[in-house]
Structure 1
């Protein structure tokens, strides 16, 4: 089994799309003609993030607990450094955290970005990729 995609419902559809395309490096691609506006954003040829325009909020539909965040793994130092450069150039606020090693996994470095209230995006890479 593998994760197919994550869906984010947002009132600011274009800002979310810009973040995922301009900062995260996903590619906007084909999307079926649903009755609600949105975007499908692709990584490695697959639509991994679905953005959907929020309609009038219905508080009775808010489930608890909710998904806290989604995470993207970067597999190289070059990808990690390019992400950091895009974050800094755009002025996006982020925080970092280090994950201690736990055999067989090596230590990792994380970046967290608050996309919107209640929606966090994580980027993670092996610690040795995050070293300058």
Structure 2
């Protein structure tokens, strides 16, 4: 079981606001580390940690984590939310898995995959 993901970003506040809006994550308790950051919660669990990073282009060709996937519900609602916010995305349907996917990038270019399974219609990140 994956516990959390830590994302480095040159735009700490923008990335926090983006993930709060897109995934309904909420900032919560974070230990008093000697550097800034946020722990973003889905319910009672801190699933995304944000810490400062240098501004540099995202290059997925090298040895790195390519993207982070989130299981969500309400595909049409989420797609409408992206449209209303003017957030570009691409789609992928995998009927053999009974899944639909939306791909979006954070303001600094981190790729997020939003995965929706048929039959799951309520809840969030």
TM over 0.5: yes
> Following TM superposition, by how much is the alpha carbon of 1:128 offset from its aligned partner in structure 2, in angstroms?
5.8
Q: CA RMSD in A?
A: 2.1
- Structure (1 or 2) with the larger CA radius of gyration: 1
Give 1:91's match in structure 2, choosing from 76, 86, 95: 86
> Following TM superposition, by how much is the alpha carbon of 1:98 offset from its aligned partner in structure 2, in angstroms?
1.0
Gapped regions of structure 1 (runs ≥ 5):
58-63
Aligned residues: 115
TM-score (ref. length: structure 2) = 0.81
Q: Flag as ranges the 4+ runs of structure 1 deviating above 4 A.
A: 127-130
Gapped regions of structure 2 (runs ≥ 5):
57-61
State the partner residue of 1:107: 98
Identify the structure with bigger relative contact order (alpha carbons < 8 Å, sequence gap 6+).
2
**Does the Cα contact within 8 Å between 1:22 and 1:86 map onto a contact in 2?**
no
Rounded Cα–Cα distance in structure 1 between residues aligned with 2:64 and 2:41: 24
**Does the Cα contact within 8 Å between 1:11 and 1:53 map onto a contact in 2?**
yes
Rounded Cα–Cα distance in structure 2 between residues aligned with 1:55 and 1:12: 9
> Following TM superposition, by how much is the alpha carbon of 1:84 offset from its aligned partner in structure 2, in angstroms?
2.0
Structural mapping, 1:1-132, within 5 Å: 2-54=1-53, 64-74=62-72, 76-77=73-74, 80-101=75-96, 106-115=97-106, 116-117=108-109, 119-127=110-118
Between stretches 48-57 and 37-46, larger displacement belongs to 48-57
> Following TM superposition, by how much is the alpha carbon of 1:50 offset from its aligned partner in structure 2, in angstroms?
0.4
